[in-house]
Amino acid sequence: MAIRRILIANRGEIALRLIRTCKALAIETVLAASEADLDSLPARLADRTLCIGPARPADSYLRVDTIVQAALGVKADAIHPGYGFLSERPVLARLCEQEGVIFIGPTAAQIEAVGDKLRARAEAETAGVPTAPGGAVETVREAMVLGREIGPPLLIKAVGGGGGRGMKRVDRLEDIPSAMELAGAEAGSAFGDARVYLERFVEGGRHVEVQILGDGNGRVIHLGERDCSVQRRYQKLIEETPAPGLSADFRARIHEAAVQFTKRLSYRSAGTVEFLVDLERDAFYFLEMNARIQVEHPITEAVTGIDLVAEQIAIADGRGLRLKQGDVRREGCAIECRINAEDPARDFHPSPGTVRTAVWPSGEGVRVDTHIASGSRIPPYYDSLMAKIIVHAADRPTALERMRRALAATHIEGVATNLAFHADVLSDPEFNTGGVDTGYLPRFLERRRLVQEARAHG
Amino acid sequence: MTLTAKDVAEIMRLLEQSSFDSLSLEIDGVKLNLQRGSAAPVRQPAASAPSAESQPQPVQSARPKAKLPSEPGLAEVASPLLGIFYRAPKPGEPPFVEVGSKVIKDTVIGIIEVMKLMNSVRAGVRGEVVEILAENGALVEYDEILLRLRPGV
């Protein structure tokens, strides 16, 4: 069957980005928007916008029945969930399967298989993909035994988790009981699943993830890796591809591991396999899989020239994988900065409001994915992502320079943003050298704070 | 080194031809800040990758306007949910209300179906039905006006 009309069950920049590919493919778009987003750019660019409920996500974007009813009501052939919200909720994928609406993404069973982090770990082990030493712990006693075996530092993670919630670092074994209780409580309230597991914490590790595309019948290709080590409290802020400083052999091994893992699942659609890279030990460990299109997908698009959303749609439409591994060529270097409406001076507090002025950069090798223009409102109910600035150049130094200029050409008035913070990171020697670990940003922030304090005291 | 008027003119020309909106230059204590297109602060977020597209100006609601009321002072009954609107309890049965029906607060005026779950919609005010806007069997959005009442009759 041919997909001719897609219901977009998301908002913000990703809604707009999905609409753009649909327009290029001459597919009609129906945006399912909350009351707070009826004035948004995506709402005006979609062929039709349906108001699905009040602003609060629980009353609109998270309502599975309403989303599917909306798709049926407008006779949409398919639903694209974007990222976040319902994108990795098996219930939506399953209801779509039952109602004959195409879910643009993996099967409900695949979402379940990777959504349970312990199951995903087991899948990785079966596929011969290395995992960090660790395992399930049901009681404090078990945790103490396993903790002693692995040795600190340790991470206590939520089985149903993600995004750093329900995750606690333990540096001394005697802290295990309290950390476990805290992680369990956090996980229980955030994911409705209080189970936790234990893993070795890799000091100086880097976050490297591999983009894959699968046809659902066992064919999988990879589109290279992304380095997302610049994180603050597990929130990615800057991503780049290729990951700096990996040998060709290491790169090939990590790509292959991602393909092996997803092949075993006969994974369908676009997905990302995350790894923790320990270059000192020449090792990498499976972290988790994200069964959706990701925020940082444009840097992969920049270096490969492949529109990932168009491939997702083609796969969902039963046209399979249109690319062979040999067709995927990666050229140059791409970097993304996430511009958030948040105030670095106030511990990165969200800063919703009306954007008085929005001037975005443009030019060769610069792409901006944003739903924000002058006059746009940033409602307080959702995440604070305003835009993604993506640059692409032949090499990393040129890409960095391009990003510095792009940031300098960006002007936002009306809300606080992390623009200046990005500019500071982009001019930091350590970041410019490349290959920073996930501990880099906290260290950078501490240094920056000290410098600012010293300045303030004159 | 100092900046002459000619230098500044040359720099302005270069900025004009470049892809950048602003330029800040500091030479020997002389600061030059140039910004172009200040009359039109919204610029196209041009993209080299798949997303290049026109960026419209801000912003009017995408929600279609309901038909104007036939008389002033009417109360509106809006849909509490997105779903399929039914005027009757079952196909073939008479509608809950017609134009001219007298209703009280708790009178059911229709049903909204969301994935086979039936939600009844109540009038909310006492009055007389003047206009019925939503069609039987049609998809209605959240907060879409279903009908209008002349209150207090």
Task: For CA atoms A396, A400, A405, A409, give the dihedral sign.
Answer: positive
Is 60 exceeded by the pLDDT of residue B56? no
Of residues A187 and B36, more confidence is placed in A187
Nearest chain A residue to B59 by CA distance is A39
| C-alpha span between A416 and A63 (Å, rounded) | 31
Q: Quote the tokens at residue A2.
A: 């041919």
Catalytic residue chosen out of the listed positions A292, A338, A367, A402: A292
A 10 A CB-CB count for A278 gives 18
- Look up A292 and say whether it is catalytic: yes
Residues of A in contact with B61 (CB under 8 A): 38-39, 43
Q: Quote the tokens at residue A165.
A: 């919630």
CA distance A278 to chain B (A): 32
| Segment (H or E) for A31 | strand A28-34
Residues of A in contact with B44 (CB under 8 A): 362
| C-alpha span between A14 and A249 (Å, rounded) | 34
Query: What pLDDT does B57 receive?
Result: 43
Q: Quote the tokens at residue A247.
A: 């040998």
Q: Say if the Cβ atoms of A375 and B58 lie within 8 Å.
A: yes
Q: Which residues contact A135 (CB under 8 A, 6 or more apart)?
A: A121, A146, A197, A198
Q: Quote the tokens at residue A220.
A: 């999988």
pTM value?
0.87
A 10 A CB-CB count for B17 gives 8
Among A43, A46, A65, whose Cβ lies nearest the Cβ of B117?
A65
Residue at token pair 């103490």: A144
Contact assessment for residue A386 and residue A368, using Cβ atoms and an 8 Å cutoff: no
Q: Say if the Cβ atoms of A39 and B48 lie within 8 Å.
A: no
Collect all residues from B whose CB is shorter than 8 A from any CB in A: 18-22, 24, 41-51, 53, 55-63, 81-84, 113-115, 117, 139, 141-144
Q: Quote the tokens at residue A42.
A: 């995506």
Beta bridge partners of A208: A227, A275
SS3 A4: coil
The residue of B15, B16, B142, B144 whose CB has the most chain A CBs within 10 angstroms, and thus the best one to mutate to test that interface, is B142
CA distance B153 to chain A (A): 31
Task: Tell me the pLDDT band of B51, cut-offs 50, 70 and 90.
Answer: very low
| C-alpha span between B141 and A35 (Å, rounded) | 10
Contact assessment for residue A244 and residue A267, using Cβ atoms and an 8 Å cutoff: no
Q: Say if the Cβ atoms of B142 and A390 lie within 8 Å.
A: no
Q: Say if the Cβ atoms of B19 and A364 lie within 8 Å.
A: yes
Q: Give residue-wise pLDDT tens across range B118-139.
A: 999 999 999 999 999 999 999 9
Q: What 3 state SS string does A75-116 have?
A: CCCEEECCCCCCCCCHHHHHHHHHHCCEECCCCHHHHHHHHC
- Please report the number of interchain residue pairs, chain A to chain B, with beta-carbon separation below 8 angstroms: 149
Q: Which residues contact A87 (CB under 8 A, 6 or more apart)?
A: A10, A81, A105, A291, A292, A293
What would the mean pLDDT of B55-71 be, rounded to a whole number? Answer: 63
A 10 A CB-CB count for A72 gives 16
Residues of B in contact with A361 (CB under 8 A): 19-21
A 10 A CB-CB count for A109 gives 13
Query: What pLDDT does B54 receive?
Result: 39
Task: Tell me the pLDDT band of B45, cut-offs 50, 70 and 90.
Answer: very low
| C-alpha span between B50 and A80 (Å, rounded) | 18
Q: Say if the Cβ atoms of A54 and B142 lie within 8 Å.
A: yes
| C-alpha span between A372 and A32 (Å, rounded) | 18
Query: What pLDDT does A95 receive?
Result: 98
In 3D space, the residue among A210, A226, A184, A228 whose CA is nearest the CA of residue A289 turns out to be: A210
Task: Tell me the pLDDT band of B6, cut-offs 50, 70 and 90.
Answer: low
Query: What pLDDT does A192 receive?
Result: 81
| C-alpha span between A313 and A272 (Å, rounded) | 17
Q: How far apart are the first and last CA of chain B?
A: 86
Query: What pLDDT does B55 receive?
Result: 42
Contact assessment for residue B36 and residue B16, using Cβ atoms and an 8 Å cutoff: yes
Nearest chain A residue to B79 by CA distance is A53
Indicate the residue type of A211: Q
Nearest chain B residue to A372 by CA distance is B58
CA distance B54 to chain A (A): 10
Residues of A in contact with B42 (CB under 8 A): 358-359, 373-374
Query: What pLDDT does B122 receive?
Result: 97
Is 70 exceeded by the pLDDT of residue B58? no
Beta strands A5-8; A78-80: pairing state: parallel
Task: For CA atoms B14, B15, B16, B17, give the dihedral sign.
Answer: positive
Residues of B in contact with A302 (CB under 8 A): 48-49
CA distance B114 to chain A (A): 6
Which residues, given as ranges, of chain A have pLDDT below 50?
none
Beta bridge partners of A179: none
- ipTM of this model? 0.87
CA distance B21 to chain A (A): 6
Nearest chain A residue to B24 by CA distance is A408
Residue at token pair 């599975």: A64
Residue at token pair 């945790």: A143
Task: Tell me the pLDDT band of B81, cut-offs 50, 70 and 90.
Answer: very high
Beta bridge partners of A276: A207, A285
Task: Tell me the pLDDT band of B41, cut-offs 50, 70 and 90.
Answer: very low
What separation in angstroms does the CA of B76 have from each of A224, A413, B123?
Answer: 56, 39, 9
Is 90 exceeded by the pLDDT of residue B146? yes
Among A38, A95, A390, whose Cβ lies nearest the Cβ of B62?
A38
